Amino acid sequence: DRMEIIRVNGYSEREKREIALRYLWPRRLKEAGLRAEDVVLPESVLDHIISRYTRESGVRQLEQMLGRITRKVAVTFADRPVDSPASPVDITETLLDEWLGQERFQPEEARKNLPAGVATGLAWTPTGGDVLYIETTLLPGSHELTLTGQLGDVMQESARAARSYLWSHAESMGLDISRFKRNGVHIHVPSGAIPKDGPSAGITMATALASAYVGKPVRSDTAMTGEISLTGLVLPVGGIKEKVLAAHRAGIRRIILPKANEKDLKEVPQEVRDELTILPVERIEDVLPAAFNQDSRSTAERPEPVTTSSAS
């Protein structure tokens, strides 16, 4: 009389490509009465369909797109004169624009240069992971904390906790406490029409705030996720696989995440982990040196990167 909920992780783009080539594409060809030699679908074009025409954790939309293509091919063959040569149809990106319409999505790409006050975070969505940017600016002569971008209650609490911790520990962290006293703060998360919530942007907000207070930019090749407590602890969050895949897709190669989430890295495909440097942290004091370009510090002062063997 009870139901067991089985949670299934989403597929990476590489996994979607393999599923499409091995199962979806042959099935759609058969349904349309076509043979494999009738159509040429390059992997680069398939990748274009996955990234520009679908956004999902599974492959339902992808199969629908492939079905539309095979039906268009079948019509193309039917319209050919009887005595025309039986040459295959080459699927190109130009043909996709004609048959599938305008591209629906633009893949998120990491910003090349971040100004002071901006940090790169990672978010989980029902369709997978996503990259988001936390933007902060100081407001001279104010003491208020302004939050915009349709932030939910939990996310607003994370922003307050991040600011309170930095303010109360400014001296020990090498921050100028007078800048806290003289300036209010405005935190904004772009894509303002989309509601956002959850605690996982806590360390990203703290990093963006610290960047604004010291006037120093955060490394643009680094993204992060993790909840921050009022005592400075970095607490575990969910959706690690989806977030790591989103960062990798966007071209980010350094990821800061809670040390308690190291175990979740085993769900990330090995070929993705091989291209990333994962920095597990336990406290916000570990996050800031890793987020800024301070590689001149000794190894003992830096969070130890996770190697692929320890992540599995």
User: Could you give the residue numbers annotated as active site?
Assistant: 200, 243
Q: From residue 50, how far is each of 17, 98, 244 by CA, in Å?
A: 8, 17, 18
How far apart are the C-alpha atoms of 38 and 241, rounded to whole Å? 37
How far apart are the C-alpha atoms of 221 and 167, rounded to whole Å? 27
Contact 223, 256 (CB under 8 A): yes
Q: Is the dihedral of CA 156, 161, 164, 170 positive or negative?
A: negative
How far apart are the C-alpha atoms of 96 and 228, rounded to whole Å? 45
Q: Which of 292, 295, 252, 260 is CA-nearest to residue 276?
A: 252
Q: 121: which 2 tokens?
A: 């975070």
Strand 183-188 relative to strand 128-140, pairing: antiparallel
